[in-house]
Structure 1
Amino acid sequence: MSLRALTMRVAFYVAGRRPGPFYALAPLVARVVWELNPALRRRVIRNLLPLCEGDRRRARREGRRALQHVLAYYLDLVTLPHRDMSRFEEEHLEIFHGERLELLRTNGAVLLVSAHTGNAELAIQALTYRGRAFVALVERLEPRDWAEYLLRLRSSAGGTFLEANFAGVRACIEALRSGGVVGMMGDRDIQHTGVCTELFGRAVRLPRGPWELARRTGALVIPIFSRRKRGDQFRIDVGEPFRVAASEDADRDIRQAVERFAGLLEQHLRRDPGQWAVLEDFWRVHACGEG
């Protein structure tokens, strides 16, 4: 068993049922990791500099918060099998523009698109208790025993989480064509097929997949952004629903959808940069064009 898988299993038994004290410890643990891992520290600061308008001191401060949120995310995962998700929305979520979620109570394909802030996965899990099961795609991870354990944890609260491969994409298409709900992330191009667009004045590739699926199936898109307030308390901002155009120019339709989401994402990240729990060197990994 890999060390990562072992750590998650231990956390499941130690913290899964009573996570409160461990959420309180997350800032301290994050500070230790921050100080002991200079390479990680440099990557996160580079990620957050554009969000902080070039203010390096602020980027360092927000970077420590981002690492804290990463740790809290994994703690969220080990609590999932123990939670009553039917009550999670009422007890843990503060929702803005919640009236837009009434569409989840009706029939018809819905694609929920979010980003790596707060815990969008947990929010989507809770929101689908409005009567709709869902399928969601996540990144393939290594080592495999750790990745498979994370999939089981993620899927323990009612949704179906699949890796972003051919089988996973096919399952999403089938779910949308049958009028179901699918959840996807729109801020990291993990399949390396993305669309070059502008984010914080830089040219980067954002995922093409969500918008291609929405266009292909006619699904209604609902942007959802999550912010962690403290512990397992979150603010959820529900964007205005829209549909991806289906003209004769597929590339233009998808590009317009990507650009629309990029604008929403930039607004969300600018409000609270430390929520962006991305540890890879984002602006280098996803760079494109001349930006």
Structure 2
Amino acid sequence: MKDRLVYAAYASGWAVLRHLPEPAARGLFDRIADFAWRRRGKRVLQLEANLRRVRPGLDEAGLRELSRAGMRSYMRYWMESFRLSVWSRERVARDVRVEGFEQLRAAMESGRGALVALPHMGNWDLAGAWVALEGYPFTTVAERLEPEKLFDRFVAFRESLGMEVLALTGGGVNVVGTLARRLREGKLVCLVGDRDLSEAGIEVTFFGEATRMPAGPAALCQRTGAALLPVSLWYDGPLLRARIHPEVPVPAEGDRREKTQAMTQAMAQIWERGIREHPEDWHMLQRFWLADLPVRATVDGAALPAAAGHPADPARPAPAGEPAAEASGP
């Protein structure tokens, strides 16, 4: 019964929002964002704890105003995603601006393939639709959503935009192997890579504190020779802007894990600059830094930070972890 109610709520919202006038839909989601912000629930408080690392000089009033803008940006993502299926090609082309696209085009035309890695910023579904319309369909990964019928609907929606969506778990498919195969075929893979959903993540320094990020993007590019291209996203009035940064190269020295750590740290530094410039568009409402995570006891009694096990937002692309041939998890 609960699954049926969840699906009915999403399906009804999807149907209604697709046909609302744009100003009405935007106003509705701004009100939802403001209502959640005023309630100061766990997610809003965690968003503020995260933003405090990004803008440590803000006073409490400034932090509150930033978190309000962050909630509005987060709900804008959902509003646009619900309505994206009825946007025309012309609307997508008009509302997305991408800097550095020549770097992606060069990597694809060389036959190497490319892995685009991005943080939870802006609207990556909209950016993905733009990339697909430019002639580059791609493969991504989504955390499985319950109920199954709702997950299937999200997948069908993304596939209609030109994405191949692999379920992170329970799909009967070797996710990492499939991603590696697509890259070796010279194709494009897009992964959200700023939050680790496993215990195989790489520890990096981010805004001066330790956290873990997925090893998958860097490890896959080492394994396949594909170009690793970090991306930043942000809103600029009615526009979604994206910046494709220069390729993160594989270091010449070090073992496989050392190279993966160096590449992941390089991406973290690039995303740090983008988030510092546009903190309201970083949709991180979960515990993120190791200092905020609960501890778990190891066999020998030592205390270690627990993995970031908070589920991703429904059907948002989830990061791949270490390749199965190199570690125990995907």
TM-score of the pair, normalised by structure 1:
0.89
Instruction: Tell whether 2:136 aligns with 1:132.
Output: yes
> Deviation string for 1:172-203 (max 9, x for gaps)?
11211111100001211012311111001111
User: Which residue does 2:39 correspond to in 1?
Assistant: 36
Per-residue deviation, 1:43: 1.1
Per-residue deviation, 1:131: 2.0
Instruction: Tell whether 2:241 aligns with 1:235.
Output: yes
Instruction: From the superposition, tell whether residues 155 and 41 of structure 1 become closer, same or farther in structure 2 (CA, over 3 Å).
Output: same
Structure of higher CA gyration radius: 2
Instruction: Tell whether 2:85 aligns with 1:78.
Output: no
Q: Secondary structure at the match of 1:274?
A: helix
Q: Report the Cα distance in structure 2 between the residues aligned to 1:221 and 1:211, rounded to whole angstroms.
A: 7
Per-residue deviation, 1:248: 5.8
> Deviation string for 1:90-142 (max 9, x for gaps)?
31112223332332651331101111010123212312322222101123334
Per-residue deviation, 1:286: 9.3
Identity %: 23
Instruction: From the superposition, tell whether residues 99 and 178 of structure 1 become closer, same or farther in structure 2 (CA, over 3 Å).
Output: closer
Aligned residue type for 1:16: R
Moved more, 237-246 or 274-283: 237-246
Instruction: Tell whether 2:70 aligns with 1:66.
Output: yes
Between the two proteins, the alignment pairs up a number of residues equal to 287
User: Which residue does 2:101 correspond to in 1?
Assistant: 98
Q: Which residue of the other structure, out of 182, 190, 198, is the alignment partner of 1:175?
A: 182
Instruction: Tell whether 2:228 aligns with 1:226.
Output: no
Moved more, 250-259 or 26-35: 26-35
Q: Report the Cα distance in structure 2 between the residues aligned to 1:102 and 1:72, rounded to whole angstroms.
A: 29
Question: Unaligned regions of 5+ residues in structure 2, if any?
Answer: 296-303, 306-330
Per-residue deviation, 1:223: 1.4
Q: Which residue of the other structure, out of 265, 269, 277, is the alignment partner of 2:283?
A: 277
User: Which residue does 1:264 correspond to in 2?
Assistant: 270
Instruction: From the superposition, tell whether residues 29 and 2 of structure 1 become closer, same or farther in structure 2 (CA, over 3 Å).
Output: same
Aligned residue type for 1:43: Q
> Contact 2:108/2:188 (CA < 8 Å) preserved in 1?
no
Instruction: Tell whether 2:247 aligns with 1:244.
Output: no
Measured on the aligned residues, the alpha-carbon RMSD in Å equals: 2.4
Per-residue deviation, 1:46: 0.7
Aligned residue type for 2:31: L
Instruction: From the superposition, tell whether residues 258 and 40 of structure 1 become closer, same or farther in structure 2 (CA, over 3 Å).
Output: same
Q: Secondary structure at the match of 2:242?
A: strand
> Contact 2:103/2:246 (CA < 8 Å) preserved in 1?
yes
Moved more, 14-23 or 59-68: 14-23
Structure 1 ranges of 4+ moved more than 6 A: 286-289
Moved more, 265-274 or 116-125: 116-125
Q: Secondary structure at the match of 2:10?
A: helix
TM-score of the pair, normalised by structure 2:
0.79
Q: Report the Cα distance in structure 1 between the residues aligned to 2:220 and 2:176, rounded to whole angstroms.
A: 9
Instruction: From the superposition, tell whether residues 214 and 17 of structure 1 become closer, same or farther in structure 2 (CA, over 3 Å).
Output: farther
Aligned residue type for 2:158: R
Superposed, 1:2-21 pairs within 5 Å as 2-18=4-20, 20=22, 21=24
